[in-house]
Amino acid sequence: MNRGYNQAMCFNFRRFPFSILLLLLGSGPAISARADIFSRSATDEAMAYCTFGPKVRIVATADKPEDRTGCAGSAKIQAVQWECASFDGISARVERFRKKLVSLAEAECGRFCASRAKGCQGRFQAPTRCGLQTDYDEGIAAGKKLGCRSDCAGTALSFCSLYDAGYRTDDPALISKQAPNCLCAR
């Protein structure tokens, strides 16, 4: 059963959002967070995983109080996927990730709205680009800073998330400023 991530990677998703942000900011606490995301068997400079995702989840919801049917409302559906791979295919990979994330988020939007009330349907507003993504230069720099391992497909980080939450999956302060991407109605 595919749960949106490879279970064999032995990666704890709950620790991902905070650790990656701290590492990218290069702050002092990133060093103490290092034990959370780096495998003890890997070298001190290598990530414990080569790929992540796609991972999709609802991070915020809102109801329309004037709707007595319980259908009308909205959700913010965050989705993330990334991979350490060759630098020459970053843009194509990011676009492929975006298409996959949009497809999965669209299905999640439909399920969410259908669960609200009978006959309720979801309308997902697909982004034309990732809320946060790496381009060529950022992918190479992030791959070096985070330490893509030598056994990965490459040393550049291809990253796409639907909402810009920094490199965190769920940053309520950042996401609260962005519009919902899932609208429920009859």
* Residue 156: Cβ-neighbour burial (10 angstroms; 0-12, 13-18, 19+): buried
Q: Cα separation of 121 and 113, whole Å?
A: 5
Q: Max CA-CA distance within the chain?
A: 57
The Cβ of residue 108 has, within 10 Å, a number of other Cβ atoms equal to 21
Average pLDDT score, the chain: 78
Lowest mean pLDDT among 3-12, 45-54, 135-144: 3-12
pLDDT in tens, 58-91: 999 999 878 888 999 999 999 999 999 999 999 9
- Using the predicted structure, report yes or no on whether residue 13 has a pLDDT greater than 70: no
* Residue 8: Cβ-neighbour burial (10 angstroms; 0-12, 13-18, 19+): exposed
- Contact, 24 vs 142, CB < 8 A? yes
Taking the whole predicted model, whether its pTM rises above 0.95 is answered as no
Query: Residue 66's pLDDT is what?
Result: 82
Give the residue, 6 or 164, on which the prediction is more confident: 164
Residue ranges per structural domain of the chain: 7-185
